[in-house]
A and B are shown apart, each in its own frame.
Chain A
Amino acid sequence: MKLLSAALLALAAAAAVTATFLPFSELLIKLAPDQPQTAYVTTGWSTYFGATKDVHAPLFGIPIAAAAAATLAGIRWRKVAFAGAAALAGVAGMLFVYLLNAISFHKTGNIAIDPSLEAGFGNGIWVLIGATVLAFGAVVVHPDD
């Protein structure tokens, strides 16, 4: 069981870090009706509006990487694994709410003007939620300290 929980925790941490490099949200935006569509893509380390990089992009990757590190340290201590899994749940939950806001803001603002525009979650958030589930699974099979 020790080996299984260690493997699950390592996998959860790796998945969480991988998630930071994947898109969290993908929004297609038009600034004016006659302008071309531009993709607005947010990952854990950058936000791009078309080819333009947002220099003030939120670095969601930092708290995610910290939670992943705690999860990895949980291989040694069950209580740390539990705290790491809870921290992953916290970052995933808060990020999800933020993305939900950004997507619904975009839908009421832009898509109302042009229905061909789209907005949705990227794969990153699903991988992050998957990592959270894996981490809690690892806690369940983790032998007591």
Chain B
Amino acid sequence: MIGRPTAVALIAAGVVLTATALILPWYSTIYAGDVEVVVRAWGTEVVHKPGDWPAGELSPWYGVPIAITAAFLTAGIWINRAALAGAAAQLGAVGIITVLTISERGHAVEQQGDFAIGYGLVFLAAGTLVALTGAIAAQKEAR
């Protein structure tokens, strides 16, 4: 067993990584003419937007479910059960984000775009796994 202090430290590290992921870019695609579409937790930014760009920008609220699970993880520093709920829910949300990103990459490559994963998604995946490890360890300690 890794001990309660280590489990709590892992959960806290998961919270910090997740919070960082809510700020950093998740993925971006560069198209011809230096047009870049950057997707973050709180919106899509089009750099060098051409005049004929399709109407309406996706302004995702992807950050909302992640902010909620991060709040559960934060509570999980004191309450074991909240950590488990937050980590499991965040893993589920990351699952949806993963299949969505694979799909977006497919569409981008099909349109000759240069697709790149941002640090936000890397931090989100790392934060989720670290927090899940901590949450499971905290559960085992509780017995």
Which residue numbers of A lie inside 8 Å of B, CB to CB?
55-60, 62-63, 66-67, 70, 79, 82-84, 86-95, 97-98, 100-101, 105, 108-109, 112
> Does B99 contact A58, Cβ atoms closer than 8 Å?
yes
Contact (Cβ within 8 A) A109 B54: yes
Question: Of B58, B68, B92, B105, which is within 8 A of A63 by CB?
Answer: B92
Known: A58-B102, A87-B91. 10 other contacts (CB 8 A): A62-B99, A63-B96, A67-B95, A82-B81, A87-B92, A90-B91, A91-B96, A93-B89, A94-B95, A98-B96
| Bound-complex Cα distance A83 to B59 (A) | 30
> CB-CB < 8 A to B58: which residues of A?
101, 105
Residues of B within 8 A of A (CB): 54-56, 58-62, 64-65, 68-69, 81, 84-100, 102-103, 105-107, 110, 139
Query: DSSP majority for the B interface?
Result: helix
Chain A residues lying within 8 Å of B139, measured Cβ to Cβ, are 79
| Chain A, residue nearest B106 (CB) | A56
**B contact residues around A60 at 8 Å (CB):** 96, 99-100
A89 touches B99 (CB 8 A): no
Give 17 CB contacts A-B under 8 Å.
Answer: A56-B106, A58-B99, A67-B95, A79-B84, A79-B139, A82-B81, A82-B84, A82-B88, A90-B89, A91-B96, A93-B65, A97-B61, A97-B65, A98-B60, A101-B59, A109-B56, A112-B55
Min CB distance, A66 to chain B, in Å? Answer: 6
Chain A's closest residue to B128 (CB) is A90
CB distance from A48 to the nearest CB of B (A): 14
Contact among B62, B93, B110 with A91 in the assembled complex (CB-CB below 8 Å): B93
Contact check, A63 vs B61: say whether CB atoms are below 8 A apart: no
Q: Is the CB of B84 within 8 A of A63?
A: no
Report the bound CA distance from A66 to B98 in whole Å.
13
Cβ of A86: which chain B residues have Cβ within 8 Å of it? 84-86, 88-89, 92
Instruction: Give the residues in chain A near B55, CB-CB below 8 Å.
Output: 108-109, 112
